[in-house]
Homo-oligomer: A and B are copies of this chain.
Amino acid sequence: MGRALLTDLYELNMAASYLRRGMTQPATFSLFVRHLPRGWGFLVACGLSRCLEFLESFRFEDEDLRYLAETQGYPDETLQAFRDLTFGGEVRAVPEGRLVFPDEPLLEVTASMPQAQLVETFLLNQITYQTAVASKAARCRIAAADRDLIDFSFRRVHGTEAALAVARATAIAGFAATSNVEAARTLGLAAAGTMAHSYIEAFESEIEAFRAFAEDFPNRVVLLVDTYDTARGVEKAIEVARELSARGSRLLGLRLDSGDIGKLAHEARRTLDDAGLQDVRILVSGSLDEHAIAGLADAPIDSYGVGTRVGVSADAPYLDSVYKLVEFAGRPVAKLSTAKATLPGPKQVWRRSEMEGDVIALSDEDGPPGAEPLLVPVMANGKRVVDDGIDDARDRLTRDLRALPADLRSLEPGPYPVERSEALEKLSEEVRTSIRDRELG
């Protein structure tokens, strides 16, 4: 898990140089997102858990050191220093499931400079995509109101590790189940799934397939009705519902996966109701995202199977995330480059009550009256000091979404007010002036 070579080469170069020069004083790096994706009103912090696991187990294996010796020519003393290196630092972070906004640190790492530098790549890698997917899933959660959501994304996300993370992020966003069996097993989630079109096609006829499934899984019969013709499929499902009923069982639901989903759901609902099957649920799937779900708000749908577009966060498959040095050896640090300038110093984010706005401040400042600090200690001396899981993160997100102003819950949100404290602005100006004097004078 904590393989030290899961990093960019430049991190190793820099760490080697710092170690050789004795530049092992404490450094603080701040991980934040510079801009929201277009049309998004908030982000949902996600990915911290795996980062903490990585930091706790961070180490160079013998084969890693052999590889570096052979290919990178680091001197023996550097390799020895790498061999002895573990992560013994502090991490303060916004707990998973909480809402965050641009420029607000999702986490801050304070550790000996080489340690803090070496873990950059892994932390960005995990936080970036997990936060994107959790945010996208939360947008679906809002659009779906009180209807169920199920994660169907495994087949088209970027690998099996991503599939597991997506199952976790969607569970945090309040999805009821995942199709991913390994994720369900590992994370203790509900697994869900019915049948594919291939199952229908493997039988001589659609109704034979329905009957076989009803016989084999009498307690969870959900039938896919759109393989050949949806209206006929619904009629055949009703026939099977009658047969099930005669045997003391029942049809739980129908799944619609193609065509004009809203129209087909209305028709299927009417046909079911006319047959006295008011309790048969309608599950829909196929290219769903928050916008498609919102567009189906008037359709009689009970459950949405949401896949690819949320699993890869299709409209924002990456966030503009960075991991920036803000303090080294007690000296506040910043970058001047156009459009990519950074704010110096370790920080705290204060949230005013009822989410009236946030204030980004220096970490040693007091917050505004009644405001709540978002960054909390999660690791000390390289060991986790929190132990929370998916349920905690889901509860936090539920609370934050409830507090979120209505305008920011919409699919075309306005901006959320994020200020900077006076002390932060003052320090930023001082650091910029000092850089200008030194480098540009």
Q: CA of A229 to CA of B338 in the docked complex: distance in angstroms?
A: 9
Smallest CB–CB gap between A319 and chain B, Å? Answer: 8
B336 engages A227 (CB within 8 Å)? yes
In chain A between 1 and 45, which residues have their CB closer than 8 angstroms to a CB of chain B?
3, 5-14, 16-18, 20-21, 23, 27, 29
Contacts A12-B181, A72-B191, A212-B21; A198 near B337 (Cβ below 8 A): no
B156 engages A13 (CB within 8 Å)? no
List residues of chain B with CB within 8 A of the CB of A333: 198, 201-202
B340 engages A155 (CB within 8 Å)? no
Q: CA of A173 to CA of B206 in the docked complex: distance in angstroms?
A: 44
Residues of chain A at interface, number, CB under 8 A: 103
Smallest CB–CB gap between A158 and chain B, Å? Answer: 4
Task: Say if the beta carbon of A426 comes within 8 Å of chain B.
Answer: no
**Can you tell how many copies of this chain the complex includes?**
2
Task: Say if the beta carbon of A121 comes within 8 Å of chain B.
Answer: yes
Q: Which B-chain residue is minimally distant from A313 (CB atoms)?
A: B317
Contacts A216-B17, A339-B258, A439-B232; A9 near B179 (Cβ below 8 A): yes
User: A125, A195, A309, A313 — which one has the most chain B CB atoms within 10 A of its CB?
Assistant: A125
Task: Say if the beta carbon of A294 comes within 8 Å of chain B.
Answer: no
Q: Which B-chain residue is minimally distant from A319 (CB atoms)?
A: B156
B125 engages A154 (CB within 8 Å)? yes
Q: CA of A1 to CA of B334 in the docked complex: distance in angstroms?
A: 44
User: A155, A195, A219, A319 — which one has the most chain B CB atoms within 10 A of its CB?
Assistant: A155
List residues of chain B with CB within 8 A of the CB of A155: 8, 120-121, 124-125, 128, 321, 323
Smallest CB–CB gap between A170 and chain B, Å? Answer: 14
A9 engages B258 (CB within 8 Å)? no
Stretch from A91-99, A159-167, A406-414 that touches the partner? A159-167
Task: Say if the beta carbon of A180 comes within 8 Å of chain B.
Answer: yes
List residues of chain B with CB within 8 A of the CB of A313: 317
Task: Say if the beta carbon of A185 comes within 8 Å of chain B.
Answer: yes
B129 engages A158 (CB within 8 Å)? yes
List residues of chain B with CB within 8 A of the CB of A184: 9, 71
Task: Say if the beta carbon of A197 comes within 8 Å of chain B.
Answer: yes
B10 engages A196 (CB within 8 Å)? yes
List residues of chain B with CB within 8 A of the CB of A11: 193, 196
In chain A between 46 and 100, which residues have their CB closer than 8 angstroms to a CB of chain B?
64, 67, 71-73
Task: Say if the beta carbon of A328 comes within 8 Å of chain B.
Answer: yes
Per-residue CB contact flags for chain A residues 266-302 toward chain B (1 = under 8 Å, else 0) read 0000000000000000000000000000000000000
A317 engages B312 (CB within 8 Å)? yes
B337 engages A258 (CB within 8 Å)? yes
B216 engages A16 (CB within 8 Å)? yes
Q: Which B-chain residue is minimally distant from A312 (CB atoms)?
A: B317
A314 engages B324 (CB within 8 Å)? no
Q: Which B-chain residue is minimally distant from A192 (CB atoms)?
A: B9
B439 engages A229 (CB within 8 Å)? yes
A195 engages B158 (CB within 8 Å)? no
Q: Which B-chain residue is minimally distant from A15 (CB atoms)?
A: B199
List residues of chain B with CB within 8 A of the CB of A160: 6, 122, 125, 161
12 contacts between A and B (CB under 8 A): A7-B181, A7-B182, A10-B179, A10-B195, A18-B202, A120-B196, A156-B319, A156-B321, A197-B337, A226-B337, A232-B439, A258-B337
- Cβ-closest 9 pairs across A and B: A9-B193, A10-B193, A158-B158, A198-B325, A317-B317, A159-B161, A124-B155, A8-B179, A161-B161
A-side residues, CB < 8 A to B, are 3, 5-14, 16-18, 20-21, 23, 27, 29, 64, 67, 71-73, 113, 117, 120-122, 124-126, 128-129, 152, 154-163, 165, 179-182, 184-185, 191-199, 201-202, 205-206, 212-213, 216-217, 219, 226-229, 232, 257-259, 308-309, 312-314, 317-319, 321, 323-325, 328, 333-340, 435, 438-440
Q: A129-B158, A158-B159, A202-B328 are in contact. List 12 more A-B contacts (CB 8 A).
A: A3-B182, A8-B180, A9-B193, A29-B198, A122-B160, A158-B161, A198-B333, A201-B328, A202-B325, A202-B333, A257-B337, A312-B318
